[in-house]
Amino acid sequence: MVKLALITGASSGIGEALAIEMARRHYKVILVARSEDRLKLISDRIQNEGGESIFLRVDLENGDEVASLKGSIESYGELSVIINNAGYGNFNNIENTEIEDWDRHININLKASFLICKIFVPQMKKRGAGVLVFINSVAGKKGYSNSTAYVASKFGLRGFSDALREELRDQNIKVISIFPGAVNTSFWDNSDIGFDKNEMLNAEVLSESIVSAIELPENCVVEEMQFRRVKGDF
């Protein structure tokens, strides 16, 4: 039986690395993001390496587009794994944080995960199995200056995933929260981070560890994983 995995934010960074690693481990991956061109490139790479992939262009800020995922995916089967990876970050002090930007952080970093779980968790409950992965951040455990919107959204995601874990524990559905520090991806391209990007975590190495946690035996779960640079605060 083919294992089906949905990955949001799959067009770059951690999401791209996870998609490639999951496909290599014989999952049929459904790639979701806004950039159709990038999704096609990654999907083609997976297929050229002998894997199976589908890509769906979805704006996760649009509730109707997120709701349409159910119909789009039904013909492929039931999801074994959902990786809520899509994320957004724009770092500013409080007076320069626009309301629209605050809302965007909440919509992408928190609300999108809620909507996707609301749609697909009932299928997992019915089957009595499934894995939900939430790619959070060290900012979901600690506040950082000039990051109020980002940190608030990540603390919210942590609370949501913690509560959902307890809600689903008796349903044999695993909930795994990932808290990475700075990962060397395009997320940081326009940020003044104060250190060399080469010191950051590697997305491919990170993904290997995450997928290994997903594939643990049915009676075992790693509920949280935190990754940081040896040096520095994140």
Of 141, 12, 136, 149, residue with least CA distance to 89:
149
Q: What is the pLDDT of residue 232?
A: 72
Phi, psi of 164 (to 5 degrees): -65, -35
User: Within a domain: residue 80?
Assistant: yes
Phi, psi of 130 (to 5 degrees): 155, 160
Range of the domain at 214: 3-227
| Residues recognised as catalytic | 150
Q: Is residue 188 very low, low, confident or very high in pLDDT (cuts 50, 70, 90)?
A: low
> What sign does the CA torsion over 160, 151, 178, 82 have?
positive
20 contact partners, CB below 8 Å, separation of at least 6 = 42, 45, 46, 49, 51, 204, 207
pLDDT digits (tens, 9 = 90+) for 118-177: 999 999 999 999 999 999 999 999 999 999 999 999 999 999 999 999 999 999 999 999
Largest CA-CA distance found in the chain, in angstroms, rounded: 53
Residue 71: CATH number of its domain? 3.40.50.720
**pLDDT mean across residues, the chain:** 94
User: Within a domain: residue 78?
Assistant: yes
Is residue 186 predicted with pLDDT exceeding 90?
no
96 contact partners, CB below 8 Å, separation of at least 6 = none
User: Within a domain: residue 196?
Assistant: yes
pLDDT digits (tens, 9 = 90+) for 61-82: 999 999 999 999 999 999 999 9
User: Within a domain: residue 148?
Assistant: yes
Q: pTM of the entire structure?
A: 0.94
User: Within a domain: residue 233?
Assistant: no
In total, how many domains does the chain have? 1
User: Within a domain: residue 232?
Assistant: no
